[in-house]
Structure formats: structure tokens, C-alpha cells
Structure 1
């Protein structure tokens, strides 16, 4: 379950960071927020996540 926590933590961090960048730098950072959301939706439908694959290559498993 460690891998799932890492994936959720990174996704949540990306969303919060991109929201802060949208507020303080440029509203176009909201496109990154949308990209992360679309990837989360896609992974829930296909049961495949690129970050899962990357973490496995680093030796992080369930």
C-alpha cells in the first residue's frame, strides 16, 4: 500500500502547487491542474497509472 500513498501524495501535491501557481503567477497553471485530474480519472477507468510504472522501476512495490 506504500505505492498507493506515494501516488496520492504526489498527485495531491501537484494539484495544490499548480493551484498556488495559478493564483500567484499565471492562471494558465490551471491547465496543469486539469491535466492531473484527467490522468487521475483515466487511471481509475483503465487501472493503469504511469507513476505506478515509474515507481516500480525505482523498486517501490506494494
Structure 2
């Protein structure tokens, strides 16, 4: 798995898990968990527009493998 977008992307896998988990928690525990779903969506939009992604920084800090982009 790699940090960058595309097949095998850690960021997409983690974002999907966060959204699914927070929706389930919102349905079965408290509706306030849906705010977390909104936060994940805002961060995904921010990342697509600016290139800044806090999860990418976290993954780099723990040593996740980065895919080499060839030109």
C-alpha cells in the first residue's frame, strides 16, 4: 500500500474506514458522530484543492512507503 492516490492508497482506505465507522456510530450511538463524517469530507475537499493532507503527514511520519512517480 502506498500514501499517494490511486490503487493501493492508504489515504483512501483510511478515509473510507473513517466515513463508514462514523456513519455507523451516528446511527447506533449518537447523531453527533455524523459531525466527524463531515470533517472527513471537508478534509478530503481541502486536500483535493490545496494538496495539504494531514493524514499524508501522519503516514509519512510513521514510515509508510511512498510510490515513486516516474516521468
Q: Do both share a fold (TM > 0.5)?
A: yes
Would you say how many aligned residue pairs link Structure 1 and Structure 2? Answer: 62
* Unaligned ranges ≥5, structure 2: none
Report the secondary structure of 2:23's partner residue: helix
Deviating runs (4+, > 3 A) in structure 1?
A: none
TM-score, normalised relative to structure 2: 0.80
* Unaligned ranges ≥5, structure 1: none
Q: Which has the higher contact order (CA 8 A, sep 6+)?
A: 1
TM-score, normalised relative to structure 1: 0.91
Task: Give the alignment's Cα RMSD to 1 decimal.
Answer: 1.2
Answer with 1 or 2: which has the greater Rg.
Answer: 2
Q: Which has the higher helix share?
A: 1
